[in-house]
Structure 1
Amino acid sequence: MDTFSVLTTEPQTVGVEWFAEISDLLLNKTEFVVAGIPHRFTEIEYYYFGGEHKDPFAHCDPLQQTTAKWYFHRESGSYRGGSFKGLDISFGSEGMFGGILIRTIEDPDGNEINGCSLCVDHLLKTTGHAKVADLDGEVAERLIWDESSPIHIRHNDALTAKEIIPTARVGLTLKRMGKHPDMPAFIMRDYRYLTIPKIKKGKVHTIIAYHKQGLSAEEIKQKTRSPQRTINGYIDAFDEGQQLEDFQSYKGQSLKSADVCRLHGTWHRHFATTS
Protein backbone atom coordinates (compact mmCIF):
# COMPACT_ATOMS: atom_id res chain seq x y z
CA MET A 1 0.00 0.00 0.00
CA ASP A 2 1.53 3.32 -1.13
CA THR A 3 0.38 5.16 2.01
CA PHE A 4 2.64 2.97 4.14
CA SER A 5 5.53 2.73 1.67
CA VAL A 6 7.90 4.32 4.19
CA LEU A 7 7.62 1.06 6.14
CA THR A 8 8.56 -1.09 3.19
CA THR A 9 11.34 0.99 1.63
CA GLU A 10 14.63 0.77 3.50
CA PRO A 11 16.70 3.98 3.20
CA GLN A 12 20.43 4.07 2.62
CA THR A 13 21.01 4.86 6.30
CA VAL A 14 18.96 3.11 8.98
CA GLY A 15 18.36 5.18 12.11
CA VAL A 16 16.49 8.04 13.72
CA GLU A 17 15.48 9.88 10.52
CA TRP A 18 13.75 6.81 9.10
CA PHE A 19 12.22 5.87 12.44
CA ALA A 20 10.96 9.42 12.98
CA GLU A 21 9.25 9.39 9.57
CA ILE A 22 7.56 6.06 10.28
CA SER A 23 6.55 7.29 13.74
CA ASP A 24 4.81 10.37 12.39
CA LEU A 25 2.79 8.09 10.12
CA LEU A 26 1.91 5.52 12.79
CA LEU A 27 1.30 7.88 15.72
CA ASN A 28 -0.45 10.76 13.97
CA LYS A 29 -1.99 9.43 10.75
CA THR A 30 -2.92 5.82 11.50
CA GLU A 31 -5.77 4.05 13.25
CA PHE A 32 -5.16 0.65 14.80
CA VAL A 33 -8.41 -1.23 14.28
CA VAL A 34 -9.13 -4.02 16.78
CA ALA A 35 -12.27 -6.05 16.10
CA GLY A 36 -13.69 -3.07 14.23
CA ILE A 37 -12.87 -0.58 17.01
CA PRO A 38 -10.41 2.22 16.10
CA HIS A 39 -7.50 2.75 18.49
CA ARG A 40 -4.35 4.86 18.27
CA PHE A 41 -0.73 3.94 18.78
CA THR A 42 0.76 6.24 21.44
CA GLU A 43 4.12 4.61 22.21
CA ILE A 44 6.34 2.48 19.98
CA GLU A 45 9.97 1.32 19.90
CA TYR A 46 12.30 0.30 17.07
CA TYR A 47 14.62 -2.69 16.87
CA TYR A 48 16.61 -3.32 13.68
CA PHE A 49 19.54 -5.63 12.97
CA GLY A 50 20.98 -5.67 9.48
CA GLY A 51 23.61 -4.16 7.21
CA GLU A 52 25.63 -1.53 9.05
CA HIS A 53 22.95 -1.21 11.75
CA LYS A 54 23.52 -4.20 14.04
CA ASP A 55 21.39 -3.41 17.07
CA PRO A 56 22.32 -6.04 19.69
CA PHE A 57 18.98 -5.53 21.46
CA ALA A 58 16.94 -6.79 18.47
CA HIS A 59 15.25 -10.19 18.91
CA CYS A 60 16.27 -11.35 15.42
CA ASP A 61 13.43 -13.85 15.18
CA PRO A 62 13.15 -15.29 11.65
CA LEU A 63 9.65 -13.79 11.36
CA GLN A 64 11.18 -10.31 11.69
CA GLN A 65 12.73 -10.79 8.25
CA THR A 66 9.30 -10.02 6.80
CA THR A 67 7.76 -6.62 6.09
CA ALA A 68 4.39 -5.24 7.25
CA LYS A 69 3.37 -8.37 9.15
CA TRP A 70 2.19 -8.79 12.74
CA TYR A 71 4.76 -10.58 14.89
CA PHE A 72 3.65 -11.89 18.29
CA HIS A 73 6.76 -12.41 20.39
CA ARG A 74 8.18 -15.90 20.48
CA GLU A 75 11.05 -17.77 22.05
CA SER A 76 12.40 -20.98 20.56
CA GLY A 77 9.36 -21.10 18.30
CA SER A 78 6.76 -20.83 21.09
CA TYR A 79 4.63 -17.79 21.88
CA ARG A 80 5.82 -15.89 24.93
CA GLY A 81 3.34 -15.75 27.79
CA GLY A 82 2.60 -13.81 30.96
CA SER A 83 4.31 -10.44 31.21
CA PHE A 84 6.63 -11.36 28.33
CA LYS A 85 3.94 -11.14 25.65
CA GLY A 86 4.44 -8.54 22.97
CA LEU A 87 3.47 -7.49 19.45
CA ASP A 88 5.62 -6.00 16.70
CA ILE A 89 5.06 -4.66 13.24
CA SER A 90 7.77 -6.33 11.17
CA PHE A 91 9.87 -4.19 8.84
CA GLY A 92 12.71 -6.46 7.78
CA SER A 93 13.79 -8.44 4.74
CA GLU A 94 15.98 -11.45 4.05
CA GLY A 95 18.99 -11.16 6.37
CA MET A 96 17.55 -7.98 7.95
CA PHE A 97 15.53 -8.19 11.17
CA GLY A 98 13.16 -5.34 12.01
CA GLY A 99 10.47 -4.94 14.64
CA ILE A 100 8.36 -1.97 15.75
CA LEU A 101 7.27 -2.83 19.29
CA ILE A 102 3.79 -1.69 20.35
CA ARG A 103 4.14 -0.38 23.91
CA THR A 104 0.99 1.73 24.45
CA ILE A 105 -2.31 2.13 22.63
CA GLU A 106 -5.34 4.34 23.29
CA ASP A 107 -8.97 3.26 22.90
CA PRO A 108 -11.76 5.51 21.52
CA ASP A 109 -12.61 6.73 25.05
CA GLY A 110 -9.06 7.93 25.65
CA ASN A 111 -8.11 5.07 27.96
CA GLU A 112 -4.44 4.11 27.76
CA ILE A 113 -3.38 0.48 27.60
CA ASN A 114 0.24 0.80 28.70
CA GLY A 115 2.70 -2.04 28.49
CA CYS A 116 3.56 -4.59 25.81
CA SER A 117 1.88 -7.52 27.56
CA LEU A 118 -1.21 -5.53 28.54
CA CYS A 119 -1.63 -4.41 24.92
CA VAL A 120 -1.70 -8.05 23.82
CA ASP A 121 -4.15 -8.88 26.63
CA HIS A 122 -6.41 -6.08 25.37
CA LEU A 123 -6.27 -7.43 21.82
CA LEU A 124 -7.17 -10.92 23.02
CA LYS A 125 -10.11 -9.67 25.09
CA THR A 126 -11.42 -7.32 22.40
CA THR A 127 -11.20 -9.90 19.61
CA GLY A 128 -12.61 -12.69 21.79
CA HIS A 129 -9.58 -14.97 21.79
CA ALA A 130 -8.25 -16.88 24.79
CA LYS A 131 -4.72 -17.45 23.51
CA VAL A 132 -2.17 -15.60 21.41
CA ALA A 133 -1.93 -18.63 19.13
CA ASP A 134 -5.66 -18.38 18.41
CA LEU A 135 -5.50 -14.70 17.48
CA ASP A 136 -2.34 -15.14 15.42
CA GLY A 137 -3.99 -18.05 13.65
CA GLU A 138 -6.90 -15.83 12.62
CA VAL A 139 -4.51 -13.07 11.52
CA ALA A 140 -2.94 -15.80 9.36
CA GLU A 141 0.09 -13.82 8.20
CA ARG A 142 -2.03 -11.10 6.58
CA LEU A 143 -0.39 -7.75 5.90
CA ILE A 144 -0.97 -5.19 8.63
CA TRP A 145 -3.37 -3.12 6.49
CA ASP A 146 -5.50 -6.09 5.40
CA GLU A 147 -9.00 -5.14 6.56
CA SER A 148 -10.11 -8.77 6.67
CA SER A 149 -7.80 -9.31 9.65
CA PRO A 150 -9.18 -8.91 13.20
CA ILE A 151 -6.38 -6.42 13.81
CA HIS A 152 -5.21 -4.03 11.10
CA ILE A 153 -4.15 -0.45 10.49
CA ARG A 154 -5.74 2.17 8.26
CA HIS A 155 -4.63 5.62 7.21
CA ASN A 156 -6.52 8.61 8.61
CA ASP A 157 -5.25 12.12 7.88
CA ALA A 158 -8.04 13.62 10.00
CA LEU A 159 -6.56 12.50 13.33
CA THR A 160 -5.48 15.25 15.70
CA ALA A 161 -1.70 15.58 15.42
CA LYS A 162 0.19 15.24 18.69
CA GLU A 163 3.72 16.17 19.71
CA ILE A 164 6.01 13.17 19.26
CA ILE A 165 8.75 12.77 21.86
CA PRO A 166 11.78 10.65 20.88
CA THR A 167 13.53 8.98 23.82
CA ALA A 168 15.70 5.99 24.65
CA ARG A 169 14.03 2.59 24.83
CA VAL A 170 12.65 1.13 28.06
CA GLY A 171 14.13 -1.67 30.15
CA LEU A 172 17.50 -2.14 28.43
CA THR A 173 20.70 -2.83 30.40
CA LEU A 174 24.35 -3.64 29.76
CA LYS A 175 24.20 -7.00 31.55
CA ARG A 176 25.35 -8.78 28.39
CA MET A 177 27.90 -6.18 27.33
CA GLY A 178 30.71 -8.73 27.62
CA LYS A 179 29.12 -10.83 24.89
CA HIS A 180 27.86 -7.85 22.88
CA PRO A 181 30.47 -5.04 22.95
CA ASP A 182 28.31 -2.81 20.71
CA MET A 183 25.59 -2.50 23.36
CA PRO A 184 26.83 0.84 24.78
CA ALA A 185 26.55 2.49 21.36
CA PHE A 186 22.90 1.49 20.96
CA ILE A 187 21.46 1.50 24.46
CA MET A 188 20.46 5.16 24.69
CA ARG A 189 19.66 5.96 21.08
CA ASP A 190 16.32 7.71 20.62
CA TYR A 191 14.47 4.70 19.25
CA ARG A 192 11.32 5.10 21.36
CA TYR A 193 8.57 7.47 20.20
CA LEU A 194 5.56 8.51 22.26
CA THR A 195 2.81 11.12 22.28
CA ILE A 196 1.86 10.94 25.97
CA PRO A 197 4.73 12.29 28.10
CA LYS A 198 3.05 11.36 31.39
CA ILE A 199 3.26 7.59 30.67
CA LYS A 200 4.75 6.13 33.86
CA LYS A 201 6.81 3.28 32.44
CA GLY A 202 9.96 4.75 30.99
CA LYS A 203 9.24 8.25 32.29
CA VAL A 204 12.88 8.55 33.36
CA HIS A 205 13.80 8.48 29.65
CA THR A 206 11.16 11.08 28.83
CA ILE A 207 12.49 13.43 31.50
CA ILE A 208 16.07 13.08 30.27
CA ALA A 209 14.95 13.55 26.65
CA TYR A 210 13.29 16.84 27.56
CA HIS A 211 16.37 17.88 29.54
CA LYS A 212 18.59 17.24 26.51
CA GLN A 213 16.18 19.34 24.42
CA GLY A 214 16.91 22.24 26.76
CA LEU A 215 13.64 22.38 28.71
CA SER A 216 13.78 23.70 32.26
CA ALA A 217 12.91 21.51 35.23
CA GLU A 218 9.65 23.44 35.61
CA GLU A 219 8.73 22.87 31.95
CA ILE A 220 9.52 19.16 32.31
CA LYS A 221 7.33 19.02 35.41
CA GLN A 222 4.38 20.50 33.53
CA LYS A 223 4.73 18.03 30.65
CA THR A 224 5.43 14.84 32.62
CA ARG A 225 3.61 15.63 35.89
CA SER A 226 6.68 14.46 37.79
CA PRO A 227 7.79 16.00 41.11
CA GLN A 228 10.39 18.75 40.80
CA ARG A 229 12.64 16.93 43.27
CA THR A 230 12.63 13.80 41.13
CA ILE A 231 13.43 15.77 37.98
CA ASN A 232 16.31 17.61 39.64
CA GLY A 233 17.69 14.31 40.95
CA TYR A 234 17.61 12.79 37.48
CA ILE A 235 19.40 15.79 35.99
CA ASP A 236 22.09 15.62 38.70
CA ALA A 237 22.62 11.92 37.98
CA PHE A 238 22.85 12.66 34.25
CA ASP A 239 25.57 15.22 34.97
CA GLU A 240 27.43 12.68 37.14
CA GLY A 241 27.35 10.15 34.32
CA GLN A 242 28.96 12.60 31.93
CA GLN A 243 32.11 12.46 34.06
CA LEU A 244 32.65 8.71 33.52
CA GLU A 245 35.36 7.61 31.10
CA ASP A 246 33.73 4.32 30.07
CA PHE A 247 30.78 1.96 30.63
CA GLN A 248 32.47 -0.65 32.83
CA SER A 249 30.57 0.30 35.99
CA TYR A 250 27.29 -0.59 34.23
CA LYS A 251 28.45 -3.98 32.93
CA GLY A 252 26.35 -6.84 34.27
CA GLN A 253 24.32 -4.54 36.52
CA SER A 254 20.61 -4.04 37.06
CA LEU A 255 19.72 -0.36 36.73
CA LYS A 256 17.62 1.75 39.07
CA SER A 257 16.30 5.11 37.87
CA ALA A 258 19.35 7.07 39.03
CA ASP A 259 21.63 4.54 37.32
CA VAL A 260 19.65 4.95 34.10
CA CYS A 261 20.20 8.71 34.27
CA ARG A 262 23.92 8.28 34.89
CA LEU A 263 24.09 5.90 31.94
CA HIS A 264 22.32 8.52 29.83
CA GLY A 265 25.02 11.00 30.81
CA THR A 266 27.85 8.62 29.99
CA TRP A 267 26.27 7.72 26.67
CA HIS A 268 25.74 11.40 25.85
CA ARG A 269 29.42 12.10 26.47
CA HIS A 270 30.60 9.32 24.16
CA PHE A 271 27.96 9.03 21.43
CA ALA A 272 25.66 12.06 21.27
CA THR A 273 27.45 13.67 18.33
CA THR A 274 27.71 10.46 16.30
CA SER A 275 24.29 8.79 16.74
Structure 2
Amino acid sequence: MRTLFLLMLAASAGFVSCSESKTTSGGSGAIVLGDSSMMVTETDSQYLGDRVMDMRPAKAAEPTEEAEVVKTDTAQKPATVEEPVESKTARVEEKPAEAPTGKGLKIDMKDVTLFIPGVEAKGSGTSYSLRNGSLNGKEIRVSGGKVDKISQRYQTVVVAKNNLGTLVLDNLSTTTGWEALRSAGNSYTITGLNENRLAAPRVSPSSIRNAVSREARSSRATRKNEQKWLAAVKNVRSANQKPLSVELRSVMWKIDGKDARGKSFSKQVRVDMPL
Protein backbone atom coordinates (compact mmCIF):
# COMPACT_ATOMS: atom_id res chain seq x y z
CA MET A 1 0.00 0.00 0.00
CA ARG A 2 2.84 2.35 0.76
CA THR A 3 4.40 1.64 -2.54
CA LEU A 4 1.13 2.23 -4.36
CA PHE A 5 0.69 5.63 -2.61
CA LEU A 6 4.13 6.80 -3.67
CA LEU A 7 3.52 5.84 -7.25
CA MET A 8 0.23 7.81 -7.38
CA LEU A 9 1.90 10.84 -5.79
CA ALA A 10 4.70 10.77 -8.38
CA ALA A 11 2.17 10.51 -11.19
CA SER A 12 0.23 13.53 -9.88
CA ALA A 13 3.39 15.59 -9.63
CA GLY A 14 4.30 14.72 -13.21
CA PHE A 15 0.85 15.64 -14.47
CA VAL A 16 0.98 19.03 -12.75
CA SER A 17 4.47 19.68 -14.08
CA CYS A 18 3.36 18.81 -17.57
CA SER A 19 0.36 21.16 -17.34
CA GLU A 20 2.51 24.07 -16.16
CA SER A 21 4.99 23.40 -18.92
CA LYS A 22 2.28 23.58 -21.52
CA THR A 23 0.84 26.75 -20.02
CA THR A 24 4.24 28.45 -19.82
CA SER A 25 5.46 27.48 -23.25
CA GLY A 26 2.29 27.73 -25.39
CA GLY A 27 0.17 30.31 -23.51
CA SER A 28 -2.78 29.12 -25.51
CA GLY A 29 -4.78 27.38 -22.87
CA ALA A 30 -8.32 28.45 -22.19
CA ILE A 31 -9.08 30.60 -19.16
CA VAL A 32 -11.64 28.99 -16.93
CA LEU A 33 -14.02 31.38 -15.23
CA GLY A 34 -13.99 31.08 -11.48
CA ASP A 35 -10.64 29.24 -11.41
CA SER A 36 -8.54 31.09 -8.86
CA SER A 37 -5.41 29.48 -10.24
CA MET A 38 -5.90 31.42 -13.45
CA MET A 39 -6.06 34.85 -11.71
CA VAL A 40 -3.01 37.10 -11.86
CA THR A 41 -2.43 39.61 -9.10
CA GLU A 42 0.01 42.41 -9.97
CA THR A 43 1.61 44.44 -7.22
CA ASP A 44 4.18 46.45 -9.21
CA SER A 45 2.95 50.10 -9.57
CA GLN A 46 4.64 50.62 -12.97
CA TYR A 47 2.30 48.08 -14.47
CA LEU A 48 -0.80 49.39 -12.78
CA GLY A 49 -1.04 52.67 -14.79
CA ASP A 50 -4.02 53.34 -17.07
CA ARG A 51 -2.55 53.80 -20.56
CA VAL A 52 -5.91 54.17 -22.33
CA MET A 53 -7.27 57.75 -22.62
CA ASP A 54 -10.77 58.37 -21.46
CA MET A 55 -13.27 58.46 -24.31
CA ARG A 56 -15.20 61.75 -24.35
CA PRO A 57 -18.00 62.37 -26.84
CA ALA A 58 -17.14 65.15 -29.28
CA LYS A 59 -19.35 68.29 -29.06
CA ALA A 60 -21.40 69.24 -32.05
CA ALA A 61 -19.79 72.12 -33.97
CA GLU A 62 -21.52 75.48 -33.32
CA PRO A 63 -23.01 77.06 -36.42
CA THR A 64 -21.03 79.99 -37.79
CA GLU A 65 -22.32 82.94 -39.88
CA GLU A 66 -21.20 82.57 -43.42
CA ALA A 67 -21.74 84.87 -46.34
CA GLU A 68 -24.68 83.84 -48.43
CA VAL A 69 -23.46 82.11 -51.49
CA VAL A 70 -25.47 82.84 -54.57
CA LYS A 71 -25.55 79.96 -56.88
CA THR A 72 -24.81 81.11 -60.36
CA ASP A 73 -24.62 79.37 -63.61
CA THR A 74 -20.97 79.46 -64.59
CA ALA A 75 -21.95 78.80 -68.16
CA GLN A 76 -24.11 81.94 -68.29
CA LYS A 77 -22.60 84.83 -70.25
CA PRO A 78 -22.12 88.17 -68.48
CA ALA A 79 -24.83 90.77 -69.16
CA THR A 80 -23.92 93.21 -71.86
CA VAL A 81 -25.45 96.54 -72.87
CA GLU A 82 -26.84 96.45 -76.34
CA GLU A 83 -25.46 99.15 -78.55
CA PRO A 84 -27.89 100.91 -80.87
CA VAL A 85 -27.85 99.52 -84.34
CA GLU A 86 -26.92 102.17 -86.83
CA SER A 87 -29.43 102.73 -89.52
CA LYS A 88 -28.40 101.54 -92.91
CA THR A 89 -29.78 104.74 -94.33
CA ALA A 90 -27.10 107.41 -94.31
CA ARG A 91 -27.94 110.32 -92.02
CA VAL A 92 -28.21 113.57 -93.88
CA GLU A 93 -26.57 116.39 -91.98
CA GLU A 94 -27.78 119.90 -92.47
CA LYS A 95 -25.10 122.02 -94.00
CA PRO A 96 -24.92 125.71 -93.24
CA ALA A 97 -26.23 127.91 -96.03
CA GLU A 98 -23.60 129.40 -98.27
CA ALA A 99 -22.89 133.11 -98.17
CA PRO A 100 -25.20 135.09 -100.51
CA THR A 101 -23.81 136.18 -103.85
CA GLY A 102 -25.07 138.31 -106.75
CA LYS A 103 -27.06 141.54 -106.86
CA GLY A 104 -29.51 142.20 -104.10
CA LEU A 105 -29.99 143.59 -100.60
CA LYS A 106 -27.59 142.05 -98.09
CA ILE A 107 -28.43 142.65 -94.42
CA ASP A 108 -25.68 141.62 -92.02
CA MET A 109 -27.12 141.22 -88.51
CA LYS A 110 -23.98 139.70 -86.90
CA ASP A 111 -25.73 136.49 -85.75
CA VAL A 112 -27.38 135.93 -89.12
CA THR A 113 -27.24 137.36 -92.65
CA LEU A 114 -30.29 138.05 -94.82
CA PHE A 115 -30.15 138.41 -98.58
CA ILE A 116 -32.99 139.55 -100.84
CA PRO A 117 -32.03 139.12 -104.51
CA GLY A 118 -33.34 141.42 -107.23
CA VAL A 119 -33.70 144.59 -105.19
CA GLU A 120 -31.51 147.58 -104.39
CA ALA A 121 -31.54 149.50 -101.15
CA LYS A 122 -29.37 151.86 -99.15
CA GLY A 123 -28.78 151.86 -95.43
CA SER A 124 -27.04 149.87 -92.73
CA GLY A 125 -27.72 147.95 -89.56
CA THR A 126 -31.47 147.48 -89.19
CA SER A 127 -32.82 150.34 -91.35
CA TYR A 128 -32.79 150.52 -95.16
CA SER A 129 -34.49 152.49 -97.91
CA LEU A 130 -35.59 150.70 -101.07
CA ARG A 131 -34.24 152.25 -104.27
CA ASN A 132 -35.12 149.79 -106.96
CA GLY A 133 -37.29 146.70 -107.31
CA SER A 134 -40.32 145.30 -105.52
CA LEU A 135 -40.38 143.22 -102.33
CA ASN A 136 -43.59 141.28 -102.87
CA GLY A 137 -42.88 137.72 -104.02
CA LYS A 138 -39.14 137.96 -103.34
CA GLU A 139 -37.20 135.50 -101.18
CA ILE A 140 -35.27 136.19 -97.99
CA ARG A 141 -32.28 133.87 -97.99
CA VAL A 142 -30.71 133.12 -94.61
CA SER A 143 -27.09 132.22 -93.86
CA GLY A 144 -24.67 132.27 -90.93
CA GLY A 145 -27.11 131.12 -88.25
CA LYS A 146 -30.08 128.90 -87.44
CA VAL A 147 -33.35 130.75 -87.98
CA ASP A 148 -36.52 129.25 -86.50
CA LYS A 149 -38.99 131.79 -87.81
CA ILE A 150 -39.25 135.05 -89.75
CA SER A 151 -42.35 137.13 -89.11
CA GLN A 152 -43.47 140.12 -91.17
CA ARG A 153 -45.57 143.18 -90.62
CA TYR A 154 -45.93 146.38 -92.61
CA GLN A 155 -47.14 149.95 -92.35
CA THR A 156 -49.38 151.75 -94.82
CA VAL A 157 -50.12 155.43 -95.18
CA VAL A 158 -52.68 157.47 -97.09
CA VAL A 159 -51.23 159.61 -99.89
CA ALA A 160 -52.98 162.51 -101.67
CA LYS A 161 -51.78 163.02 -105.23
CA ASN A 162 -52.95 165.31 -108.05
CA ASN A 163 -51.72 168.17 -110.23
CA LEU A 164 -50.90 170.13 -107.07
CA GLY A 165 -48.30 167.58 -106.09
CA THR A 166 -48.11 164.83 -103.46
CA LEU A 167 -49.01 164.98 -99.80
CA VAL A 168 -48.10 162.05 -97.50
CA LEU A 169 -50.73 162.07 -94.76
CA ASP A 170 -48.75 160.62 -91.85
CA ASN A 171 -51.71 161.06 -89.51
CA LEU A 172 -53.62 158.52 -91.61
CA SER A 173 -51.57 155.34 -91.28
CA THR A 174 -51.86 151.84 -89.86
CA THR A 175 -49.52 148.98 -88.92
CA THR A 176 -50.45 145.31 -89.24
CA GLY A 177 -49.71 142.54 -86.78
CA TRP A 178 -46.86 140.02 -87.12
CA GLU A 179 -47.44 137.11 -89.48
CA ALA A 180 -45.02 134.23 -90.07
CA LEU A 181 -43.62 133.84 -93.57
CA ARG A 182 -43.67 130.52 -95.37
CA SER A 183 -40.29 128.83 -95.46
CA ALA A 184 -38.54 126.31 -97.65
CA GLY A 185 -35.20 125.33 -96.21
CA ASN A 186 -33.22 128.52 -95.67
CA SER A 187 -35.53 130.69 -97.80
CA TYR A 188 -38.61 132.67 -96.73
CA THR A 189 -41.10 134.06 -99.25
CA ILE A 190 -42.31 137.67 -98.88
CA THR A 191 -46.08 137.79 -99.43
CA GLY A 192 -49.08 139.97 -98.59
CA LEU A 193 -47.76 143.18 -100.11
CA ASN A 194 -50.08 143.38 -103.13
CA GLU A 195 -51.09 146.99 -103.75
CA ASN A 196 -54.80 146.22 -104.02
CA ARG A 197 -54.83 144.20 -100.81
CA LEU A 198 -52.94 146.46 -98.45
CA ALA A 199 -54.48 147.20 -95.07
CA ALA A 200 -56.10 150.66 -95.09
CA PRO A 201 -56.42 152.94 -92.07
CA ARG A 202 -59.83 154.01 -90.85
CA VAL A 203 -60.66 157.54 -91.97
CA SER A 204 -63.49 160.01 -91.87
CA PRO A 205 -64.15 163.21 -93.87
CA SER A 206 -63.00 165.36 -90.98
CA SER A 207 -59.83 163.31 -90.36
CA ILE A 208 -59.02 163.54 -94.06
CA ARG A 209 -59.42 167.36 -94.14
CA ASN A 210 -57.35 167.79 -90.98
CA ALA A 211 -54.55 165.58 -92.33
CA VAL A 212 -54.49 167.39 -95.71
CA SER A 213 -54.42 170.83 -94.10
CA ARG A 214 -51.60 169.85 -91.77
CA GLU A 215 -49.40 168.36 -94.49
CA ALA A 216 -49.99 171.31 -96.85
CA ARG A 217 -48.71 173.67 -94.19
CA SER A 218 -45.73 171.39 -93.42
CA SER A 219 -44.77 171.44 -97.10
CA ARG A 220 -44.93 175.24 -97.04
CA ALA A 221 -47.79 175.36 -99.52
CA THR A 222 -49.39 178.73 -100.06
CA ARG A 223 -52.72 179.53 -98.56
CA LYS A 224 -54.26 179.35 -102.01
CA ASN A 225 -52.84 175.86 -102.65
CA GLU A 226 -53.99 174.68 -99.22
CA GLN A 227 -57.53 175.68 -100.10
CA LYS A 228 -57.26 173.85 -103.42
CA TRP A 229 -56.21 170.69 -101.54
CA LEU A 230 -59.12 170.95 -99.19
CA ALA A 231 -61.46 171.44 -102.14
CA ALA A 232 -60.00 168.30 -103.81
CA VAL A 233 -60.85 166.06 -100.82
CA LYS A 234 -64.15 167.72 -99.92
CA ASN A 235 -66.30 164.75 -100.99
CA VAL A 236 -63.82 161.92 -100.15
CA ARG A 237 -65.15 159.29 -97.73
CA SER A 238 -62.52 156.50 -97.87
CA ALA A 239 -58.77 156.09 -97.91
CA ASN A 240 -58.78 154.67 -101.44
CA GLN A 241 -61.01 157.32 -103.02
CA LYS A 242 -59.26 159.68 -105.43
CA PRO A 243 -57.19 161.74 -105.05
CA LEU A 244 -56.29 159.51 -102.08
CA SER A 245 -54.64 156.11 -102.18
CA VAL A 246 -53.17 153.64 -99.68
CA GLU A 247 -49.45 153.17 -100.14
CA LEU A 248 -46.92 150.81 -98.55
CA ARG A 249 -44.79 152.88 -96.22
CA SER A 250 -42.40 150.28 -94.77
CA VAL A 251 -41.93 146.55 -94.25
CA MET A 252 -40.50 145.04 -91.07
CA TRP A 253 -39.21 141.56 -90.36
CA LYS A 254 -38.55 139.88 -87.04
CA ILE A 255 -35.99 137.09 -87.09
CA ASP A 256 -36.02 134.51 -84.29
CA GLY A 257 -33.32 131.87 -84.07
CA LYS A 258 -30.08 130.70 -82.46
CA ASP A 259 -26.54 131.80 -83.06
CA ALA A 260 -23.53 129.53 -83.61
CA ARG A 261 -23.21 129.00 -79.83
CA GLY A 262 -26.83 127.97 -79.48
CA LYS A 263 -27.95 131.21 -77.82
CA SER A 264 -31.41 132.44 -78.79
CA PHE A 265 -31.80 135.81 -80.46
CA SER A 266 -34.58 137.98 -81.87
CA LYS A 267 -33.77 140.80 -84.27
CA GLN A 268 -35.75 143.23 -86.40
CA VAL A 269 -35.01 145.02 -89.65
CA ARG A 270 -37.01 147.65 -91.55
CA VAL A 271 -37.09 148.62 -95.23
CA ASP A 272 -38.79 151.90 -96.10
CA MET A 273 -40.55 152.39 -99.44
CA PRO A 274 -40.10 155.43 -101.68
CA LEU A 275 -43.24 157.63 -101.89
TM band (smaller chain):
under 0.3
Give 1 or 2: higher helix fraction. 1
**Rg bigger for which structure?**
2
Give 1 or 2: higher strand fraction. 2
TM-score w.r.t. length of structure 1: 0.21
TM-score w.r.t. length of structure 2: 0.21
